[in-house]
């Protein structure tokens, strides 16, 4: 078995770590010895029962899990400190454990993999996940043209050109990268693997939801979620449907969310439930909803986004209400007719969206179309096999 090193600044204990890291590693660990370096947040690490459960699963799969502490502050110094320590960790693993491939998830791990791999002659996979420089600009954490921005873009270009393979979440991001780096991308091996879902867990229920619940899954307080659009949509839905209620399933602070929507209608505030949910129960929440809403800021920053929530929502056989300009979201909705696209946050646009949603929900074939879209685009098995093919090509004798 070849020894591979999987490097990420995400935590294995958080929902994303389970759905977008562990989900793939369960399959890959059958053929490869994997060392996994993750960065865990204090709140997750304090859940000792969950830590023990995840550690036990890693051991049963033969995965060496080396969790590190995630340090979010100071904002600029913390990532630099993390990168320096990451270089030391990766160099140690390469020297002591005969690592033959580094799988780097996102930009800082890729830069580390490039530095250490270049010295040791070890190939690395640049698993981009999204267009990080543009996301930082959209979130207001980075100024375009600043010294730090230029440094990150330079690292992006070099990592793309020197990686043994590049993984993009979307075809939209791939088109952008081909335009930005025509020479670096020309001979590069690039694979598009969207965020996938475990479709054995995210499944439709036979009878559908008992209540008219419109849901929203995931963070809404990030710099790239359009909370004002969500409030507008819920306001119109509450006014026209006395039975409609709303569920916001998120790890965000409910107090901050309530404060952010203070000026929304009393109908929305009275019918809105805000709660968190463990990752292993998300499918039960979705199965009780008739539709799910996700509005994101569009632009370059979102070309590389493949919302995990979309895979899980469609897997449960329910439609999405979304906006254009976010990765391949609009193309998938149009191709499979599994949702509604909203142009702006005006009352007229939301009325139109709800009219279209009502028409969709009256279609008895809607659930099966949603499920088909999930299976053809977001299958975990297909995603794992795509990663496996990359590993096999880079380690041809495995």
Q: Pairing state of beta strands 339-342 and 3-8?
A: unpaired
Q: Give domain limits for the chain.
A: 3-196+379-394, 213-377
pTM: 0.85
Percent of the chain with pLDDT over 70: 99
Per-residue pLDDT at 267: 87
Asked whether the domain spanning 213-377 has the same topology as the one spanning 3-196+379-394, the reply is yes
Residue 396: predicted pLDDT: 65
pLDDT in tens, 228-262: 999 999 999 999 999 999 999 999 999 999 999 98
Residue 207: its pLDDT value, please? Answer: 76
Burial 299-325 (b: 16+ CB within 10 A, else e): ebbbbbbbbbbbbbbbbbbbbbbbbeb
The superfamily CATH assigns to domain 3-196+379-394 is Glycogen Phosphorylase B; (3.40.50.2000)
Is 109 in contact with 14 (CB distance < 8 Å)? Answer: no
Residues 365-394 have a mean pLDDT of 95
**What tens digit of pLDDT does each residue of 6-54 get?**
999 999 999 889 889 999 999 999 999 999 999 999 999 999 999 999 9
Kindly indicate the confidence band of residue 141, based on its pLDDT and cuts at 50, 70 and 90: confident
How large is the average pLDDT for residues 165-186? 92
pLDDT band at 398 (very low <50, low <70, confident <90, very high): low
Q: What is the mean pLDDT of residues 372-386?
A: 94
Q: Which fold has domain 213-377?
A: Rossmann fold (3.40.50)
Calpha distance 44→142 (Å, rounded): 27
- Residue 37 belongs to what H/E stretch? strand 33-40
Which of 81-85, 99-103, 107-111, 267-271 is predicted least confidently? 81-85
Q: How confident is the model at residue 71 (pLDDT cuts 50, 70, 90)?
A: confident
Q: Which two tokens stand for residue 299?
A: 């632009």
Confidence grade of residue 186 (pLDDT, cut at 50, 70, 90): confident
Query: How far is it, in rounded angstroms, from Cα 116 to Cα 137?
Result: 28
Per-residue pLDDT at 1 exceeds 80: no
Of 83 and 227, more confident: 227
pLDDT tens-digit series, residues 307-356: 989 999 999 999 999 999 999 999 999 999 999 999 999 999 999 999 99
Task: Give the per-residue pLDDT at 397.
Answer: 63
pLDDT > 60? residue 283? yes
Name which of 14-18, 100-104, 368-372 the model is least confident about. Answer: 14-18
- For residues 106-126, one letter each, b for 16 or more C-beta atoms within 10 angstroms of the residue's C-beta and e for the rest, the string is bbbbbbbbbbbbeeeebebbb
Give the number of residues written for the chain.
398
The stretch 358-368 carries a mean pLDDT of: 96
Q: What is the DSSP letter of 301?
A: G
Sign (positive or negative) of CA dihedral 258, 260, 262, 267: negative
**Which pLDDT belongs to residue 59?**
97
Query: Region 87-97: what's the mean pLDDT?
Result: 94
pLDDT at 331: 96
The predicted pLDDT at position 81 comes to 83
**Confidence band for 174, pLDDT divided at 50, 70 and 90:** very high
Q: What is the average pLDDT score of the chain?
A: 92
């Amino acid at each position: 078995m070849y020894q591979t090193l999987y490097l990420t600044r995400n935590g294995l204990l958080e929902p994303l770590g389970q759905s977008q890291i562990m989900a793939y590693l369960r399959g890959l660990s059958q053929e490869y010895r994997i060392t996994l370096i993750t960065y865990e947040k204090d709140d997750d690490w304090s859940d000792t029962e969950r830590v023990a459960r995840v550690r036990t699963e890693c051991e049963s799969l033969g995965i060496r899990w080396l969790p590190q502490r995630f340090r979010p502050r100071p904002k600029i110094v913390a990532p630099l400190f993390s990168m320096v320590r990451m270089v030391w960790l990766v160099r140690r693993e390469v020297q002591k454990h005969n690592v033959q491939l580094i799988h780097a998830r996102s930009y800082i791990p890729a830069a580390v993999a490039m530095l250490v791999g270049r010295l040791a002659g070890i190939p690395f996979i640049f698993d981009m996940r999204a267009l990080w420089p543009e996301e930082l600009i959209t979130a207001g954490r980075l100024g375009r043209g600043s010294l730090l921005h230029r440094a990150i873009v330079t690292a992006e270009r070099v990592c793309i050109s020197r990686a043994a393979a590049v993984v993009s979440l979307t075809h939209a991001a791939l088109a952008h990268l081909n335009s930005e780096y025509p020479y670096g991308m020309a001979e590069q091996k690039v694979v598009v693997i969207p965020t996938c879902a475990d479709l054995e867990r995210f499944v439709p229920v036979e009878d559908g939801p008992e209540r008219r619940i419109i849901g929203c899954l995931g963070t809404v307080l990030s710099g790239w979620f359009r909370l004002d659009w969500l409030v507008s949509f819920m306001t119109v839905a509450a006014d026209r449907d006395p039975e409609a209620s709303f569920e916001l399933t998120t790890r965000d602070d409910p107090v901050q969310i309530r404060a952010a929507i203070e000026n929304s209608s009393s109908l929305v505030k009275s019918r809105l439930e805000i709660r968190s949910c463990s990752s292993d129960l998300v499918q039960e929440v979705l199965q009780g909803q008739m539709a799910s809403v996700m509005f994101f800021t569009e632009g370059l920053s979102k070309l590389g986004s493949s919302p995990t929530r979309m895979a899980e929502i469609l897997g449960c056989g329910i439609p999405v209400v979304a906006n254009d300009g976010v990765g391949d979201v609009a193309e998938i909705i149009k191709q499979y007719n599994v949702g509604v696209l909203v142009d702006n946050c005006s009352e007229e646009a939301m009325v139109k969206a709800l009219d279209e949603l009502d028409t969709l929900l009256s279609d008895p074939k809607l659930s099966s179309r949603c499920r088909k879209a999930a299976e053809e685009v977001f299958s975990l098995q297909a995603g794992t096999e795509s990663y496996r093919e990359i590993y096999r090509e880079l380690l041809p004798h495995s």
